Structure 1
Amino acid sequence: MLRRGDDRSLPILMLLPNLVTITGLCAGLTAIRFIMVGRFDLAAMLIVFAAAIDGLDGLIARRLNAQSSFGAELDSLSDFLNFGVTPGLLVFQYALAGTYSTSWVFVLVYTICGCLRLARFNINRDTPLPPGIKPHFTGVPAPGGALLALLPVFMSLQGLIDARDFPVAYGIYLALVGLLMTSRIPTISPKSMRIPRDKAIFVLIGTVIVIGLLVTRFWLLMVLVGLAYLGVTGLSIVNYLRRWRN
């Protein structure tokens, strides 16, 4: 941000990272609007869209050398709304509302854990990793938490289950996802992922399959992605417990 009295021109590209962040924020706010009118499918799609573009703002900022404290704080506030508040409201209205009086407690646990996770991330954002340690997330990141929280909704929209049939179990599951976000468990980060050159063709083919499912069987794709991430998170938990015991 320019200081008052600074009349220097600002290249429009320097605003691009913040524009991406605001686009995601608009998606999260619009998702709340659809939750209010019972369009849970559209709300879930908008949360997925916000998760898909999350991280692009930071990547673009680094490429354009447009990083700023303002952009970092805006991104954090956007993440709290998109992946802390909105998924909790969706789950509550879709599966928990009207079932039992304490169901809101599970939503509070999930949302507050998301807030605490982002606060911890902010204060550790510029802390360098120790030598020899691969890049990783501490706890499940906020977009990943939203993906896990909405997995039963995705399965319901695909017709595999009806999450509204087991509200107690879903509420407990939601709270556990929140606790995973605030945990100290190291979880996978895209920055640490490497693909052997001779396997790159399979990544390209997989991308084609993902695009095909995206336009034909969107909810099936989200179920598969959610289950895959749940499996990877489970492996991270197992590895963490093994190291803790040793």
Structure 2
Amino acid sequence: MAMPELGTVQKHTPQRRGMYVLPSLFTAGNIAAGYYALTESIRGAAGDPRAFDHAALAIGFAVMFDGLDGRVARMTNTSSDFGKEFDSLADVITFGVAPSLLAYLWGVHAVLPSAYPEVQERLRGLGIVICFLFLICGACRLARFNISVNPQPRNPGRPGRKYFVGMPIPAGAGVIAAVVHFELGSPIHELWLSGVWLALLAFTGFLMVSSWRFWSGKELNFAERQPVRGVLLIVVVLALVIWFSEYALIAIAMAYLLSGVLARLAYSWGRRSTAS
């Protein structure tokens, strides 16, 4: 019986180890974008409103990196426990800490002195609490996702289609980044607008810890022989984002946020009509 060659196994080992590093590189890019967003938010609070826009764009790029690391890991069959934990820690920094700081400095701290100083002081304290709650809701959303096995939303959708239970934390951070970028970094100066901004933040945090369904996009399979619809969709979206980034990004972010709300309302109305 012929003996197997010793070099056969050793030849594939270095390549396999290198493939495991590939998804972590995208996760590292995620963290780098989050760190850059933090530094730009602080610079924006120092008097440069363009830095707020840079921070928002960095969070937007991080959303792209976050989508790529998991897909690359699945396509190359290099998923690992280390990669999952590394990705979760990166998401807390980039989609939790960075957007919460950006939301406070852009939408609360920059409010100009008004005729109601006591109200403004209370609003600043409320802003600290709500921005912190946004961070906590995002961290709880990640923890629930990590320990859940085949989670099911309270308002089930189409059979056979996979949904997220609660809004994903990258989408929540995307809402903040899209609004800031829509204003090109120009911060909120009016007291009443700051209150509306905090209401949006609180509602977004609630959606992340809710059990409502949100589209996951996992049925898009680019490994098919003719993934024409998926490719065309991505090309159209990228073109809109490049040419009309302010309008395209806020439209995508708000449409995704409202999709979960409308799905929940439709399910509630359907149950009431069935019961009646």
TM-score (norm 1): 0.82
Unpaired runs of at least 5, structure 1? 1-7
Q: Does 1:116 align with 2:146?
A: no
**Residue type of the alignment partner of 1:188:** W
- Compute the displacement of 1:222 (Å): 1.1
**Residue type of the alignment partner of 1:25:** I
Question: Runs (4+) of structure 1 moved beyond 6 Å?
Answer: none
For the residue of structure 2 that corresponds to 1:137, the secondary structure is strand
**Structure with the greater alpha carbon radius of gyration:** 2
For the residue of structure 2 that corresponds to 1:31, the secondary structure is helix
**In 2: Cα distance, 1:59 partner to 1:201 partner:** 18
* Alignment check: 8 A CA contact 1:145 1:181 kept: yes
1:188 to 193, 215, 238: 215
Q: Percent identity?
A: 33
Q: Does 1:173 align with 2:181?
A: no
Partner of 1:54: 66
* Alignment check: 8 A CA contact 2:167 2:209 kept: yes
Partner of 2:131: 107
**Residue type of the alignment partner of 2:24:** N
- Indicate how the Cα distance of structure 1 residues 33 and 158 shifts in structure 2: closer, same or farther if over 3 A, else same: closer
- Indicate how the Cα distance of structure 1 residues 128 and 92 shifts in structure 2: closer, same or farther if over 3 A, else same: closer
Mean CA deviation greater in 223-232 or 138-147: 223-232
- Compute the displacement of 1:21 (Å): 0.6
Partner of 2:86: 74
Mean CA deviation greater in 63-72 or 8-17: 8-17
Aligned positions, number: 233
- Compute the displacement of 1:213 (Å): 3.3
* Alignment check: 8 A CA contact 1:152 1:163 kept: no
Q: Higher relative contact order by CA 8 Å / sep ≥ 6: 1 or 2? A: 2
2:31 to 22, 25, 36: 25
Unpaired runs of at least 5, structure 2? 1-12, 45-50, 112-123, 222-226
Partner of 1:12: 18
Mean CA deviation greater in 170-179 or 97-106: 97-106
**In 2: Cα distance, 1:128 partner to 1:117 partner:** 12
* Alignment check: 8 A CA contact 2:182 2:250 kept: yes
**In 2: Cα distance, 1:73 partner to 1:85 partner:** 17
- Compute the displacement of 1:127 (Å): 3.6
For the residue of structure 1 that corresponds to 2:125, the secondary structure is coil
Q: CA RMSD in A?
A: 3.0
Partner of 1:4: none
- Compute the displacement of 1:167 (Å): 0.6
- Compute the displacement of 1:146 (Å): 1.1
* Alignment check: 8 A CA contact 2:96 2:169 kept: yes
TM-score (norm 2): 0.74
**Residue type of the alignment partner of 1:76:** S
1:214 to 207, 227, 241: 241
